[in-house]
Amino acid sequence: MKQNRLKWLLWVGLGLFLLLSYSGWQLRTGIEANNQRLITVADYREISRSAATANVSMDMVLNDLRANGVEHIGLKETSLRELAFKGDIHLWSFAEFRSWHEANRPQLWDSFIHTLGSRQVSPANLVAMTSQADVAQFLQTQLNSRYQAEQIIHLAEGESHYFIVNSAATVLDKRKDVQPQLDLWLGFDPREIEQIKAHGMKIVLRPENSKGTSLAYLKEYEPIIRDNGIKYLVFSNEVSGTPDNIDTVIDLVNRYELIIGVVETPEQLGYVKTPGLGEVLEKTAYPINRVYSTTNDDFVKTVDDRYYRWVRAVVDRGIRILYVSPFKDLKLDAGENLNNTIETIGCFHDTMQAKGFILNEELPIHPSKTTSPWHRLMVALSLVFAGTLYLYYLFKWKPWYLYVLLLLGGAFSLLANLFTGLDLSKLYALGAAILYPSLSSLLLLLYLRDHAEHPLWLKTVCSLAVVVGINLLGGYTVITSLADIRYIMNIKIFSGVKLSFFLPLLLFMLNYFSCFKGQDRLSVAVWKTLQGNPSYLVLFLFAVAAAAGYYYMGRSGNNIVSVSALELRVREILEMVFLARPRFKEIIIGYPALLSGVYLYHKYRREFILFLWGLAIVVGSVSMVNSFCHVFTAASISLQRSLAGVVVGTGVGLGVVLGIMLLEWIAKRYFPEIINQDY
């Protein structure tokens, strides 16, 4: 009687504290519900270079982009080498400039010597020459706002203007496929701004941190932001003014309510740690949204694969700013790559609208509210009750042991959350990701062991309910733990992925031996099992389990098992059918193992079936809860993915059961000696 009373107390307490932790769920889902808008940004600099290489008018390209749904253009600061590429200036190193002019224009060189006087110029310093008055004016203004007056040596001869920058230049373009060249930032080119505005397109500003010796350039940003209705900043390399003068940027973000795009890393683990960005985000209360840069696709071989990566970036990873650079397929010329890029953008937009996303409306600034200590206390207490419940079913300890654990766990939760001010949200999420798959597998084993009299259909339904229901509680706990904008935007990331993958598998073994071998010491039970005489069927089942384990480890972030072409095509089909495709670990391993394991155990009542099949079931359970650990994915998307996994996985599982029945019929007819073995 005391045991039953304690059991119901634990279940009621668990439900109560999960209910009281609802504010985290509400915070996160409220932010996500207001985050259904999407913008695509085309990189002006890269597209203009591709257009020039393909001998295509940039105005024509902008028209094509607009026709395919692009309304935002990413504008980077120009540089000396960019002006040289466009033919606006001629650019030398001072050594090249000196040697040519001494040999070919000695009189002009004498004028330079007179202007230089006693000043020394490094051979590596840059010299720019232009005959265009507007370019000369632009150079003079921009260089003087980035360098001290004595560092800019200006000489005019007729219509030609020469600018010697007597300061160290640096390598600005650090891409591996580009030859390193010294260069200088010059700010935003007003001609590019006017061209973009003439096409009715909006600008996403990409400021740089000048490497010069003057901070006057920081004053340039406000009129550009104010006069052009700028709403978005995406910092390329460093925040302007880093390291000691970022207050200007912070003030602009706050006063003009700007949204900062944080660029996802190629590994999809957090955001690119740009110097100064962390401090800006913290002091502006995280007015952010996530950016996917398509330069991360350069390793992808086909246009279709790029398109599906974009779709998954939005649906699976919560990206709301897609930043597009032209494709760089070396087998195609620049014009073909540019056309493929624009056509893919159009297809992508059609798909996103079909999936319910809103294109080209301004993105919202999300609230930066974080969870309260009271909320975190409720989450902690729910885990205390869930953990005690797990121990109750696992060991059948005396009630007073478990009451002591509850008291100790409650005291620790109070101390950690209300008195010390610690934020253990990530630890709570990790605990849920490990605990709930383990609890679900234990309850499944106990149900199947204790209800042999239930018909097969009822066992199947109840088993599905146990696995899905308990693991959804785990997903809920993860969501309500990692609820604020920092987790949603992947500023803070879920830790302990590997532990959440493998500890439930180890705990399942403990669950199994506790459930079926509880009369022996664990080591003795394991040794007896290993000493048994396996049949061919048992060996076959172990081989299946080993293959599943290899697949599981290889697909759990280790890149051991590559994705096959067949799986990619199946993924594409599932992505078109569902808003978020179900995970393969669930539909290929977890649910088929659950349905076939229940069938085989119901029919043959052999415990090893539950051991082998149970490991595969846990793989599916871990995958379900792990979907919710991808915090940048909307909770509604993770829930839809999990439910789609149940539907598709159940269908696949029923097919597997029918296949087993067919094999049984063949074995009974042609190999009766195998079926009649005592395994």
- Measured CA to CA, the distance from residue 231 to residue 651 in angstroms comes to 47
| Cβ-contact 560, 621 below 8 angstroms | no
Asked whether residue 126 carries a pLDDT value surpassing 80, the answer given is yes
Structure confidence at residue 679 (pLDDT): 46
Asked whether residue 359 carries a pLDDT value surpassing 60, the answer given is yes
What is the rounded average pLDDT for all residues in the chain? 88
Q: What are phi and psi of 84, to 5 degrees?
A: -65, -40
What residues pair up with 39 in beta bridges, in sequence order? Answer: 321
**Helix H segments across 483-554?**
485-488, 497-516, 522-531, 536-554
Average pLDDT of the segment spanning 494-517: 86
pLDDT tens digits for range 584-603: 889 899 999 999 999 999 98
| Cβ-contact 152, 166 below 8 angstroms | yes
Asked whether residue 397 carries a pLDDT value surpassing 70, the answer given is yes
Structure confidence at residue 573 (pLDDT): 67
Q: Which two tokens stand for residue 28?
A: 């996160």
Average pLDDT of the segment spanning 211-223: 92
Closest CA to 126 of 158, 79, 88: 79
Closest CA to 321 of 371, 350, 363: 363
pLDDT tens digits for range 285-328: 999 999 999 988 777 778 888 888 899 899 888 999 999 999 98
- Measured CA to CA, the distance from residue 484 to residue 493 in angstroms comes to 12
Single-letter amino acid, residue 392: Y
Structure confidence at residue 329 (pLDDT): 86
Exposure string of 613-627, with b = 16+ CB inside 10 Å and e = fewer, is bbbbbbbbbbbbbbb
- Measured CA to CA, the distance from residue 178 to residue 173 in angstroms comes to 7
Closest CA to 231 of 261, 192, 199, 204: 204
pLDDT tens digits for range 49-90: 999 999 999 999 999 999 999 999 999 999 999 999 999 999
Mean pLDDT is lowest, of 46-50, 184-188, 215-219, 417-421, for 417-421
Asked whether residue 496 carries a pLDDT value surpassing 90, the answer given is no
Asked whether residue 547 carries a pLDDT value surpassing 80, the answer given is no
Average pLDDT of the segment spanning 612-635: 91
Asked whether residue 420 carries a pLDDT value surpassing 90, the answer given is no
For the four alpha carbons of 445, 451, 453 and 455, in that order, the dihedral sign comes to negative
Of residues 394 and 346, more confidently modeled: 346
What domains can be seen in the chain, in order of their start residue? 2-30+371-675 (no CATH), 36-77+190-359 (3.20.20.80), 83-171 (no CATH)
Structure confidence at residue 522 (pLDDT): 53
pTM, entire model = 0.86
Neighbours of 527 (CB within 10 A): 11
Q: Which residue has the tokens 């670990």?
A: 585
> Between helices 635-670 and 607-629, what is the axis angle to 10°?
160
- Measured CA to CA, the distance from residue 336 to residue 338 in angstroms comes to 5
- Measured CA to CA, the distance from residue 334 to residue 513 in angstroms comes to 63
Q: Which residue has the tokens 């000691």?
A: 244
Mean pLDDT is lowest, of 297-306, 377-386, 472-481, 570-579, for 570-579
Contacts of 527 (CB under 8 A, 6+ apart): none
| Cβ-contact 234, 263 below 8 angstroms | yes
Structure confidence at residue 558 (pLDDT): 46
Q: Which two tokens stand for residue 207?
A: 């400021």
Residue 555's pLDDT band (boundaries 50, 70, 90)? Answer: low
- Measured CA to CA, the distance from residue 256 to residue 518 in angstroms comes to 66
pLDDT tens digits for range 223-233: 999 999 999 99
Structure confidence at residue 19 (pLDDT): 96
Asked whether residue 268 carries a pLDDT value surpassing 90, the answer given is no
Q: Read out DSSP for 571-635? A: HHHHHHHSSSPPPHIIIIIIHHHHHHHHHHHHHH--HHHHHHHHHHHHHHHHHHHHHHH-TTS-H
Contacts of 63 (CB under 8 A, 6+ apart): 199
pLDDT tens digits for range 556-589: 544 444 555 666 666 666 666 666 778 888 989 9
Q: Which two tokens stand for residue 614?
A: 């149970």
Contacts of 651 (CB under 8 A, 6+ apart): none
Instruction: Name the DSSP class of 249.
Output: H
The DSSP bridge pattern shows strands 72-76 and 37-43 to be parallel
- Measured CA to CA, the distance from residue 563 to residue 583 in angstroms comes to 13
